[in-house]
Chain A
Amino acid sequence: MSDLFSKFDPLIQQRQALLDTGVTDPFGLVMERVISPTVAVCSGRETILLGTYNYMGMTFDPDVIAAGKQALDDFGAGTTGSRVLNGTYAGHRAVEEALKDFYAMDHAMVFSTGYQANLGIISTIAGKGDYIVLDIDSHASIWDGCKMGDAEVVPFKHNDIEAMEKRLKRIPEGAGKLVVLEGVYSMLGDIAPLKEMIRVAKENGAMVLVDEAHSMGFIGPNGRGVAEDQGCLDDVDFVIGTFSKSVGTVGGFCVSNHPKFEILRLVCRPYVFTASLPPSVVATAATSIRKLMHGEAKRAHLWENSRTLHKGLRDLGFKLGTPEPQSAIIAVIMPDLERGAGMWEALLNEGLYVNLARPPATPAGMTLLRCSLCAEHSAEQVQTIIGMFERAGKAVGII
């Protein structure tokens, strides 16, 4: 019998070699207690959180929590059913209404995760003989949506408008075309030139899907994302988003103005063949989304935090993923995995949690320490964080 696990041996060995150097396992961290959106207790120690996607700090919002508790009391712990059978409660409709209001769009469809939203929408709308043209740095859920469907998949170089245009022009006459882009790319925290890209996509007869997972609630005048910020949201056919970041709970969605959109509820398998979100989750999501519509002050503070941290780290001599802050994600580029893991651990010992990201999740084989800011980080916390980076960076020999 050949062991089906032998294909994982190189990874098992690489992981063992890293742990043998004595560093704490970066993928074994447990949050023992969560004190606020920005502070948790890890290994008995109070730690500042700088590696969550809790951009708007909604996880502990009192109205959000109250809505969740009420829904638990009124509707129970779970739906035990698919959206198309017994799994659509008043709360699921209410959160879809909240999304339609938030984006000012005609249709909203809620999935159990953002991963499933991409999986479902992409694999269902692009079928045999159609072409999906997508950025090479797309999120795993986009790639998996492509893999699950029957369309021809054509990637282009990250954010390269000309490369995208060339590929669109070579697609055979009459074939259906879907261009898939993201507003913010979560590894380096850079944004896409959506206005130009969407113009080119439309000129070439393509429909456009934009994943705004990392921009919702924060970027754009109404927090609708990068497309809104660049004034091209009206030309986006499908926006994909998640409740697991700014909204502060779990779930995914697609909003659209397509007149036939509702048919997807019957044909989209990752929507049909899984249980719907628990009532408490959709209640927290709906409350949070409605509050995010009025989040101007929080958005302004989050931008301030992003600018301060970016400048602070750059001035210390760290190499960053973007020349200027473009989102709430600031990626610090590490020279290699060993020193990246060392730096990650040194920061944890300082009392700071950041994300260690490594291939294959990262582009160009990079090891990154990804910092994601929260609107609830105080200006003082950001200064503390910069001090921690300075001490850890010197101790590990990166700056």
Chain B
Amino acid sequence: MDRAETAARIAELIDPFNKKGIEITDNTSFAGDLEWDSLTVMDFVAAIEDEFDIIISMNQQAEIETYGQLVDAVIKLQG
């Protein structure tokens, strides 16, 4: 999967949690723009982990604030 494909797949996974239909760009932040609470974050992280068969530990999550950062992190974690 190249970056565009990974990014597109992650955007699809964001969709069901994007209740307000916020436009997703690399700078869209999960806490600030999408206003996700901790439970939503957990469900979303689980969806990403299952899709890409990776672990994103809480330590790593703390450094991921935006969609762009998440795409980069997923690519890196897939190795």
Can you list, as one digit per residue, whether each of B38-75 has a CB less than 8 Å from chain A (1) or not (0)?
01001000100110011101111000000000000000
Q: How far is the CA of A171 from the CA of B57 in the complex (A)?
A: 10
Size class of the A contact interface (CB-based, 8 Å): 10 to 19
B60 proximity list for chain A (CB < 8 A) = 152
> Is the CB–CB distance between B58 and A170 below 8 Å?
no
B37 proximity list for chain A (CB < 8 A) = 365
- Determine which residue in A167, A170, A171 has the highest number of CB atoms from chain B within 10 A of its CB, and name it: A170
Whether A155 contacts B54 in the complex (CB less than 8 A), given A167-B49, A170-B49, comes out as no
> Is the CB–CB distance between A364 and B39 below 8 Å?
yes
Q: Which secondary structure dominates chain B's binding surface?
A: helix
Query: Min CB distance, B58 to chain A, in Å?
Result: 4
Q: How far is the CA of A154 from the CA of B53 in the complex (A)?
A: 14
Query: Min CB distance, B61 to chain A, in Å?
Result: 9
Size class of the B contact interface (CB-based, 8 Å): 10 to 19
> Is the CB–CB distance between B55 and A154 below 8 Å?
yes
A337 within 8 A of B: no
Query: Min CB distance, A205 to chain B, in Å?
Result: 15
Count how many pairs of residues, one from A and one from B, have CB atoms less than 8 Å apart in the complex: 33
A153 proximity list for chain B (CB < 8 A) = 57-59
A131 within 8 A of B: yes
A15 within 8 A of B: no
B49 proximity list for chain A (CB < 8 A) = 166-167, 170
Q: How far is the CA of A154 from the CA of B54 in the complex (A)?
A: 11
Interface residues of A in 140-176 (CB under 8 A from B): 146, 152-157, 163, 166-167, 170-171
> Is the CB–CB distance between B57 and A154 below 8 Å?
yes
Q: How far is the CA of A166 from the CA of B51 in the complex (A)?
A: 12
Whether A365 contacts B39 in the complex (CB less than 8 A), given A157-B46, A166-B50, comes out as yes
Q: How far is the CA of A365 from the CA of B40 in the complex (A)?
A: 12
A136 within 8 A of B: yes
> Is the CB–CB distance between B59 and A152 below 8 Å?
yes
B53 proximity list for chain A (CB < 8 A) = 170
> Given A152-B57, A166-B50, A364-B39, list of 20 further CB < 8 A pairs?
A131-B55, A131-B57, A146-B58, A152-B58, A152-B59, A153-B57, A153-B58, A153-B59, A154-B55, A154-B57, A154-B58, A155-B58, A157-B42, A157-B46, A166-B49, A167-B55, A170-B49, A170-B53, A170-B55, A365-B39
